[in-house]
Structure 1
């Protein structure tokens, strides 16, 4: 086993990250000991489980990264650092919002990080499966999907490969309570990825607008799904899903409105939160989660 320590830049609320990660039944977490096990798929398709443990505080974040996989240590550590975005100085984000109407929220919820999903393909599948569903049933479906067609390693679940999903029939997912359309979206998108028509690694290098155009052409992938992928798969800083019901409810509460604000009004207000609109979205979500 190898172990490496890392001191993150600025504030970092790892305990909040654990709470968000724990919402997914597929992710193994421990609040008392403050760790999460991260499934990492290497380029040679080796599957490695990495334990990330917080040993510091929000103000002085310190982490240990541990794995039984003695090879590819630098690659694994870089992967983990990118997932948790430890190089992002959240003090800069905090200071930016002190001059905005979100100042009190950012004071209350300091060091809220963007933690990326563990896998580009898995993140896209989860977004497609979850779209237009309540959270409880959404996680029920994605858990069934992964536990049926993915792989468990040391208690952690890896999403199936696009090649494996491409071989499924729509009825295979219908039997798991997928709608016909959702079954088609999951399998057809996986087939495009498996045959090289969609290259998620290359798409991940594109600017936000290009990603929206590229993925938006795929049947069953709308703006909400692409924005979700940009935020949680790629960890982009400046996204604001104004059509999201949670965002609308958070702003309704903050602005003391009788009904949810209009999307165009939200987008106009959010212009003043650029270039950190993703952090505004996360902090607004957090304000109603509490």
Structure 2
């Protein structure tokens, strides 16, 4: 077990990041200790990394503890927590836009990724068209039935394991038949490496979108969600997302939800950081 101190450039609101992570009952978060235990998988080896916030909003520092190769672990944690993104530049960009007040209010909010691309996709499929409470319940049921627990931290089941499941088994957990088919189908593609998440990291957004949209059960919302929260792409604005529509309606005091044409006009000045506009708008109604 090694320990390492990591300093990143501020602002970075780790407490706010922990708050968002704590919404998911499968995450191991201790707010008072400013700690999250992160499940990581390297070449089928499962490890748990501890990330503890020891710094402040303006001078963010973290203590990392893990029991795996230091370089690869730190590299993956940097990706997940987006420690290599200078949030100050993004903040300054929005100071010249209509979202200035929103960015002042949620100053230093990072875009934290899902812990693993496959589980990110599966979670998106499970969450489709469900209210948030039941979506978390169903995801938890799925992971605790077929996943694995290590040091009190839950790991999603591997693509290989999910590919072996039957629709009937998932129906017993209260999956719809269609949703069960989608989850198993995606797992089969990932297990056979037809879906290669490692390769996706270096592909442009449009190419990843093209690859995913062909898959049963994956629509534009899931693609945008995946690009943002699995790959950390900075310039996505899911216009079909009800939360974003409601947040815009509230922020701009509109009588009704904005039209696609209005949204197109709003988002122009927010380029190339549309993902952050999305994130901060979601924050404003959470």
Please give the residue correspondences for 1:1-290 in structure 2 after superposition, counting only pairs within 5 Å. 1-43=1-43, 45-67=44-66, 69=67, 71-289=68-286
Q: What's the CA shift string for 1:38-91, capped at 9, x where partnerless? A: 001012x11110110001111111111112x1x411111111111101111100
CA distance in 2 between counterparts of 1:141 and 1:284 reads: 26
CA distance in 1 between counterparts of 2:135 and 2:262 reads: 29
- 1:118 Cα shift? 0.6
Query: 2:8 touches 2:60 (CA, 8 Å); kept in 1?
Result: yes
**What SS is found at the alignment partner of 1:38?**
strand
- 1:237 Cα shift? 0.5
**What SS is found at the alignment partner of 1:9?**
coil
Query: 2:167 touches 2:180 (CA, 8 Å); kept in 1?
Result: yes
- 1:275 Cα shift? 0.5
CA distance in 2 between counterparts of 1:267 and 1:39 reads: 38
Query: 2:127 touches 2:136 (CA, 8 Å); kept in 1?
Result: yes
CA distance in 1 between counterparts of 2:87 and 2:39 reads: 25
- 1:192 Cα shift? 1.4
CA distance in 1 between counterparts of 2:194 and 2:274 reads: 31
CA distance in 2 between counterparts of 1:39 and 1:224 reads: 26
CA distance in 2 between counterparts of 1:46 and 1:198 reads: 20
TM normalised by structure 2 equals: 0.98
CA distance in 2 between counterparts of 1:220 and 1:214 reads: 13
CA distance in 2 between counterparts of 1:280 and 1:253 reads: 14
CA distance in 2 between counterparts of 1:264 and 1:205 reads: 32
Unaligned runs of 5+ in 2: none
TM normalised by structure 1 equals: 0.97
Q: Which runs of 4+ in 1 moved over 3 A?
A: none
Which deviates more, 196-205 or 27-36? Answer: 196-205
Unaligned runs of 5+ in 1: none
CA distance in 2 between counterparts of 1:166 and 1:268 reads: 43
**What SS is found at the alignment partner of 2:11?**
coil
CA distance in 2 between counterparts of 1:192 and 1:281 reads: 30
- 1:196 Cα shift? 2.5
Q: What's the CA shift string for 1:130-189, capped at 9, x where partnerless? A: 111111111111111111111000010111110100011101100000001000000011
**What SS is found at the alignment partner of 1:37?**
strand
CA distance in 1 between counterparts of 2:112 and 2:83 reads: 9
Decide whether aligned partners of structure 1 residues 264 and 133 sit closer, same or farther in structure 2, where only a CA change above 3 A counts.
farther
- 1:257 Cα shift? 1.1
